[in-house]
């Protein structure tokens, strides 16, 4: 059922109003007043049934929780339990009276995210852009020049080695057999665990021949277990989706070789890809590719799109810029795009000019060289989004989770910049007031008319 609107007129007696507790000039309070919360109620209202079921949680609260989570780099549990202690967070999510009880279970945030598709999630990022224009942080000149780049959003998986994957497959097969009450002579689970421990010792001692033999033994155990289950499996279970999925995993692991493509790197996240970005400290990263488009001056993210299949960087530019222009709407237009050498032979065919920044810029004029050097600002934007806004490791499930985490992390980064902007102007305003009071005090003290006061 659709959420009911929060009624600000009904207030219980003897309960403290948030307006009387908090500082209304706090940046988070100013930000809450600038966000158009009714926009989310209109857009997300279709996700709920009109009349059936229990009334949903207020839309402002659910959206506000996600904004707070990715702005302050918190988990679902931390943001829900921290809400009870922070009156500023309560005002941000639409409360009028100070609350002492947790409003929702953290799992409600997961269920809410699962309802949202990619076009719904983009509304989070779109509203941060509109809020930046309302607050004065951005103007039309700021979005004319942008920089584009890609990065890897790593999934929360262990480093995939063959022997680990074989042993994980054994555990999946044992779990399947216990669930359907299939009797096995030997599960190979205990002996496989001992073999895995021996393998780690062999690798640490650089005894690679013994380590290779351990990998072959583990693969043999996996094959024996799979065939023993398949022999006694009834026809109904053999054709079930659950067993067919296990069969695909088994065949992918059994037939893999050093040169095989589209390898399986995780059984609980089969969508994970191996991506090499040429980093000296991290040769391979396991996750998915994410494209960014950000402003040159303010480092504000205009587009953050998740890609699967490890596409060439240049082939992501068209989709990223189309998304950025859609989210900008009437707020401005992009006329200059700066990219690195990974975007050579890109697929963009729009009106904006694309400048591929070369390694040497000696032949360019000073002003144009200064513009090209500014391209590297997108690297800092990506680094802050990973470190401060939960994109360094993705804990959300599936390809939908990859899209949701990237877009919400970009939204959190944008809100963090707007908060810093509002805090700067608040400090500047308070400093001006302090200077005026100091000047007034000096004038009064030096004025002869008021000399009697100080005698």
Listed by start position, the domains of the chain span 18-115, 125-157+273-418, 162-255
pLDDT in the model for residue 453? 44
Name which of 212-216, 363-367, 382-386 the model is least confident about: 363-367
Average pLDDT, the chain: 90
Per-residue pLDDT for 144 more than 70?
Answer: yes
Q: What is the pLDDT of residue 451?
A: 46
Which residues are CB-neighbours of 199 under 8 A, at least 6 positions away?
A: 163, 211, 214, 215, 218
Q: What is the pTM of this model?
A: 0.90
Q: Indicate the pLDDT class of residue 431, thresholds 50, 70 and 90.
A: low
- State percent of the chain over pLDDT 90: 79
What confidence tens digit (pLDDT) does each residue in 21-43 have?
999 999 999 999 999 999 999 99
Interval 235-247 mean pLDDT: 94
Looking at the predicted structure, is the pLDDT value of residue 311 above 60? yes
Least confident of 198-207, 361-370, 444-453: 444-453
pLDDT band with cut points at 50, 70 and 90 for residue 407: very high
pLDDT for 238 equals 92
Task: Name the pLDDT band for 455 (thresholds 50, 70, 90).
Answer: very low
56 band by pLDDT with thresholds 50, 70 and 90: confident
Residue 446 confidence (pLDDT) above 60: no
In the predicted model, what is the mean pLDDT of residues 115-127? Answer: 95
Amino acid 440: pLDDT: 63
pLDDT at 52: 74
Average pLDDT over residues 187-201: 96
Q: What is the pLDDT of residue 425?
A: 77
pLDDT greater than 50 at residue 365: yes
User: What CATH architecture does domain 125-157+273-418 belong to?
Assistant: 2-Layer Sandwich (3.30)
pLDDT given for residue 450 in this prediction: 47
pLDDT of residue 11: 53
pLDDT of residue 452: 45
Neighbours of 439 (CB within 10 A): 10
Instruction: Using pLDDT thresholds of 50, 70 and 90, give the confidence band for residue 147.
Output: very high
Q: What is the pLDDT of residue 48?
A: 77
């Amino acid at each position: 059922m659709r959420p009911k609107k929060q009624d600000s007129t009904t207030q219980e007696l003897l309960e403290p109003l948030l307006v009387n507790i908090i500082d209304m000039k706090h940046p988070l309070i100013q930000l809450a007043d600038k966000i158009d919360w009714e926009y989310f109620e209109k857009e997300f209202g279709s996700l709920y049934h009109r009349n059936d079921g229990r009334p949903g949680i207020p839309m402002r609260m659910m959206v506000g929780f996600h904004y707070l989570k990715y702005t302050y780099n918190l988990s679902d549990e931390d943001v829900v339990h921290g809400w009870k202690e922070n009156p500023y967070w309560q005002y941000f999510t639409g409360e009028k009276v100070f609350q002492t009880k947790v409003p929702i279970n953290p799992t409600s945030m997961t269920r809410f995210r699962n309802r949202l598709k990619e076009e719904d999630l983009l509304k989070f990022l779109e509203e941060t852009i509109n809020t930046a224009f309302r607050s004065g942080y951005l103007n039309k000149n700021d979005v004319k020049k942008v920089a584009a780049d890609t990065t890897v959003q790593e999934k929360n998986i262990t480093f995939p080695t063959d022997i680990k994957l074989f042993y994980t497959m054994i555990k999946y097969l044992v779990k399947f057999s216990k669930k359907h009450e299939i009797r096995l002579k030997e599960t190979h689970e205990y002996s496989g665990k001992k073999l895995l421990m021996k393998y780690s010792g062999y690798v640490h001692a650089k005894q690679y021949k013994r380590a290779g033999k351990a990998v072959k033994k583990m693969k043999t155990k996996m094959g024996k277990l799979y065939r023993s289950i398949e022999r006694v499996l009834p026809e109904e279970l053999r054709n079930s989706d659950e067993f067919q999925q296990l069969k695909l995993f088994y065949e992918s692991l059994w037939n893999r070789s050093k040169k095989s493509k589209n390898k399986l790197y995780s059984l609980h996240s089969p969508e994970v890809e191996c991506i090499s970005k040429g980093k000296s400290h991290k040769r391979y990263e396991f996750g998915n590719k994410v494209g960014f488009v950000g402003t040159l001056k303010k480092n504000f993210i205009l587009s953050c799109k998740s890609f699967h299949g490890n596409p060439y960087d240049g082939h992501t530019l068209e989709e990223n810029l189309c998304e950025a222009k859609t989210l900008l709407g009437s707020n401005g237009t992009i006329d200059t795009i700066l990219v690195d050498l990974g975007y050579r032979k890109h697929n963009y065919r729009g009106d904006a000019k694309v400048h591929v920044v070369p390694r040497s810029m000696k032949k360019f004029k000073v002003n144009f060289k200064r513009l090209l050097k500014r391209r590297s600002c997108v690297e800092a934007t990506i680094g802050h989004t990973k470190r401060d806004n939960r994109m360094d490791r993705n804990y959300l499930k599936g390809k939908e989770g990859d899209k949701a985490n990237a877009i919400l992390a970009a939204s959190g980064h944008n809100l963090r910049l707007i908060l810093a902007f509002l805090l700067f102007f608040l400090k500047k305003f308070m400093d001006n007031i302090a200077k005026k009071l100091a000047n007034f005090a000096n004038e009064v003290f030096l004025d002869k008319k008021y000399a009697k006061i100080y005698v």
